[in-house]
Amino acid sequence: MPLKIRLARGGAKKRPHYSIVVADSRYPRDGRFIEKLGTFDPMKPKDSAERVKLDVDSAKAWLAKGAQPTDRVERFLEAVGLWTRKARNNPEKSKPKKKAQERLDAAAAVAAAAAAAAAPPVEAPVEAPVEAPVEAPVEAPVEAAAEPAADAPAE
């Protein structure tokens, strides 16, 4: 039987009150449970001693039996000194996704083009111009000019 130490919600609408319970993970959140270990009242100030009440001995016994706490209950158990939370690190989650990568690449290309346009042009050292021999233009034969007129439709 996979046991969980988790929160079961109670209280009115917009006024939550949670019970810290040991339950089978297949049971509904607010449904059947095996044992009540304490309470959590999120409406009370964070520094209040009444905010979290937990039966430490029962919690220690259930942890020894293999019950797994949920994330929120892990925080409560860590505050009491019964549990140490594992550091979570998912470097892939913080990386930009495919579309964002494309947008970043496009923005970088635009920025590089703008930087290149704003930079003063680099001039090559001036060398003495070399004069190329000038050739006389070749005139087209007169017959070639007359042919397009013959092909034109008559009006």
Q: In angstroms, rounded to a whole number, what is the distance separating the alpha carbons of residues 74 and 63? A: 11
Average pLDDT over residues 102-121: 86
> What is the chain's Cα-based Rg?
41
CB-neighbour burial class of residue 153 (10 A; exposed 0-12, middle 13-18, buried 19+): exposed
CB-based contact 32:1 (threshold 8 Å): no
Most confident region among 98-102, 111-115, 134-138 by mean pLDDT: 98-102
Over 60: is that where the pLDDT of 2 sits? yes
CB-neighbour burial class of residue 45 (10 A; exposed 0-12, middle 13-18, buried 19+): exposed
Over 70: is that where the pLDDT of 152 sits? no
Over 90: is that where the pLDDT of 20 sits? yes
Q: In angstroms, rounded to a whole number, what is the distance separating the alpha carbons of residues 69 and 143? A: 100
Write out pLDDT tens, residues 37-74. 999 999 999 999 899 999 999 999 999 999 999 999 99
Model-level pTM? 0.57
